[in-house]
Amino acid sequence: MIKPVSILFVTLITAASAFAQDSGWIGMSIADGTDRGALIRNVEANSPAERAGLKANDVIVQYNKQDVVGAMQLTRLVSETPVGRTVDVTVRRENRDQTLKVTTEKAPFELAGIRFQTPDLSPFREHIALAMPNVKVLTTASLGQAGIRAESLTPQLRDFFGVKGSGGVLVASVDAGTAAARAELKAGDVITAVDGKAVSTPSEFNQEMRSRTSAYILKVVRDKQEREVRVEK
């Protein structure tokens, strides 16, 4: 059985932003697996996931024909799926792969997308350190400077998104109507620098963003290609 080596916690502020965009929801809690994919920790009763036949301990390896490398990426894929769309989800169960069809719904609760198992912690902490049996977790989450919610990158995700080196932060969401949204920054982009200054953690990203009072340029990796995004204040 594949055991999770880390559980990815998403702050309430990030999830609330996803809800504002009327994201898809399938109703399960997930964690990163040891190699690739997202391990299902539990499936909510009467949810799209349960109706599709997804079960706890399944490992989702493909979603809508896209390979899944971890929990954060799968959450983005689900949240970007329009409500009511049916997609193929390939799971590994007892060392065999099978494909199920899941139809997304609008979340029946405040938090949209896939709901992570989240402890009762303040969403305003930038550094969350938890100790659990057999699992040690250190997750950093940005507070959403300029409407951009950024999350830490694992080496696995850096490889998946085509990020060179050990830097960069993953854009979890971009608030609608902000300068970043008008500049077409997207969830799933990886920001590696702000005005030429490299960023490796959400904390560093926040620090750089707080000092910006005028237009700035973000160096971004999208579709494994580097590009620059100019954001007008």
pLDDT at 108: 63
Rounded Cα distance between 53 and 49, Å, is 6
* Model confidence pLDDT, tens digit, residues 167-217: 999 888 788 788 898 999 988 899 999 999 999 988 888 888 888 878 999
Helix (H, G, I), strand (E, B) or coil at 175: coil
State how far the alpha carbon of 122 is from the alpha carbons of 12, 66, 130, 143, 149, in Å.
Answer: 8, 33, 13, 11, 16
Matching CATH topology for 1-139 and 142-231?
A: yes
Q: Where are the domains of the chain?
A: 1-139, 142-231
Full-model pTM:
0.47
Q: Give the domain 142-231 fold.
A: Pdz3 Domain (2.30.42)
Helix (H) or strand (E) holding 74: helix 71-79
Name the token pair of 1: 């059985």
**Predicted confidence pLDDT, tens digits, the chain (233 residues):** 333 333 333 323 233 333 334 568 898 888 887 778 899 988 888 889 999 999 999 999 999 999 988 888 888 888 888 889 999 999 999 989 999 999 998 876 433 344 433 333 333 333 333 333 333 333 344 445 578 888 888 887 888 889 988 899 988 878 878 889 899 998 889 999 999 999 998 888 888 888 887 899 999 999 889 999 999 87
* E strand map for 178-222: 190-194, 197-198, 216-222
CATH class of the region 1-139 = mainly beta
Rounded Cα distance between 148 and 179, Å, is 10
